[in-house]
Amino acid sequence: MGRADASQPIIVSRDLTKRFGGRAGLTALDRISLDVREGEFVALLGPSGCGKSTFLRCLAGLEQPTEGELLFDGRPIQGPPQGLGIAFQRDALLDWFDVLQNVLLPAEFGGLRVRDHEPRARELLRMVGLQDFAHVYPSALSGGMRQRVAICRSLLLEPRLLLMDEPFGALDAMTRDQLNADLHRIWADRRMTTLFVTHSITEAVFLSTRVVVFSPRPGRVAENVVLDLPAHRTLALREEPEFLRYARGFRALFETMGLIHG
């Protein structure tokens, strides 16, 4: 697999600035400096419009930074890098393909032999309890099930880097809890490097090994906290004192930024 040295960061962002609409335009990201190491689960936490999605899109090679440096495995990101898994808030499933075909899309679009990846796709579906839905159209699934399919799709090619942009943002609270637990289980199992955008403090603290807080426009790194929480977590963790201490800390930070009024 050619895994990089664990001390070598897989992502390096140095003074990354992104402006839309030329010199006088809107600054979405202002000198973001951030390293991410192999196997980390980093939550990007911040209010709407603070540039979280833009940062993720730069990492996915879908946007070019205006200034600064952005490296993946030591190389500048020019286009979408190899070994990337992506999931969005809207699951972006293709309605006209069945569940299995949707999960296999990265193989198909990557020009790989789709049949070779079918066992892996079925295994992923089994992992999220959707083994009986392989040949069903997405329209027949609930929102939570669709998002599970999208996660399977993002994991098909064993990505070295998983980018998730508010994947559970459109789900009801109970489904969201379930998917948080599912995603944590999957991550604890394979430890793929993950950047997870959210504006839920609870979700960020529950899922991640590190929380990076973005300040509102222009997006800057306001806080960068490595969490000292158990590696294997259950939803019950959210009632533990150490979890609540972190959650309270981030809420206090949001208050000082003027985003929450008590």
Binding site for Mg ion (CB under 5 A): 53
Residue type, 100: L
For ligand ADP, the binding residue among 49, 83, 143, 249 (CB under 6 A) is: 49
Which SS3 state, helix, strand or coil, does residue 152 take? helix
Residue 51 touches which of Mg ion, ligand ADP, other proteins, none (Cβ within 5-8 Å per kind): ligand ADP
Nearer to Mg ion, 117 or 220 (CB): 220
Stretch that binds other proteins, among 70-78, 106-114, 220-228, 231-239 (CB under 8 A): 106-114
Cβ nearer to Mg ion, comparing 104 with 171: 171
State which of residues 140, 188, 226, 252 lies at the interface with other proteins (CB under 8 A).
Answer: 140
Piece of the chain touching ligand ADP by CB under 6 A; list 42-50, 108-116, 136-144, 145-153: 42-50
Question: In whole angstroms, what separates CA 100 from the centre of its chain?
Answer: 22
Measured CA to CA, the distance from residue 21 to residue 15 in angstroms comes to 19
Write out the binding residues for ligand ADP, residues 189-218 only, by CB under 6 A. 217
Of 171, 104, 106, nearest in space to 144 by CA: 171
Q: With binding defined as CB under 6 A, does residue 54 bind ligand ADP?
A: yes
Q: What is the spatial distance between Cα 223 and Cα 70, in angstroms, rounded to a whole number? A: 20
Check residue 261 for interaction with other proteins (CB under 8 A).
no
Residue type, 154: S
Q: In terms of Cα–Cα distance, which of 163, 217, 233 is closest to 48?
A: 217
Which amino acid makes up residue 225? V
The answer to whether 220 and 31 have CB atoms below 8 angstroms apart is yes
Q: Site for ligand ADP (CB under 6 A): which residue of 10, 12, 28, 171?
A: 28
Cβ(45)–Cβ(64) under 8 Å? no
Q: Is 135 in the site for other proteins (CB under 8 A)?
A: yes
Q: Give me the residues that bind ligand ADP (CB under 6 A), please.
A: 20, 26, 28, 46, 48-54, 217
